[in-house]
Amino acid sequence: MKTTPTLNLPPAPLRLTQRNGQTCVFDELRRRYIKVTPEEWVRQHFVHFLIGHLGYPQGLLANEVSLSLNQTTKRCDTVLYDLQARPRMIVEYKAPHIELTQKVFDQISRYNIVLRVPYLIVSNGIQHYCCRIHYELGRYEFLPEIPAYANL
């Protein structure tokens, strides 16, 4: 990746290297180097933001979580689990130049048909939206900010 876009996230201590002429970043959750794409750049910064600034335990986060939906395999970008290994949050990333449209929210909502988490986040690194779902009330609300882990 020749240039890295400026994101609306704190700087992250990313470990970058060159492999076969491509820039790669060390993914702390997957414990391996991943090719840097615009979406991966957002993911890595956002995960560092969750862990380093909002107190999310690294051991409860997972990247590229597979799930089965309508006889197809889908992948959630990042999932937060609770201490009983139940999913609590899905995070969907887009590249900074991708607008966060209804289509993006539809995508994460489809994933949530399977996981039924109380929190959904979408981010393109510039804009971030967090939605809290109140299943018992049959409603949802957009939160003014991404909640700290202690406030979930």
Total-model pTM = 0.94
Between the alpha carbon of residue 129 and those of residues 12, 20, 121, 122, 126, the distances in Å are: 20, 36, 5, 5, 10
Number of domains observed in the structure of the chain: 1
| pLDDT reported for residue 5 | 75
Per-residue pLDDT reduced to its tens digit, 44-95: 999 999 999 999 999 999 999 999 988 889 999 999 999 999 999 999 999 9
CATH of the domain at 59: 3.90.1570.30
Element (H, E) at 104: helix 102-115
Q: Specify the amino acid at residue 131.
A: C
Is residue 6, in this structure, part of any structural domain at all?
A: no
Is residue 51, in this structure, part of any structural domain at all?
A: yes
Is residue 85, in this structure, part of any structural domain at all?
A: yes
| Tokens standing for residue 49 | 């933001």
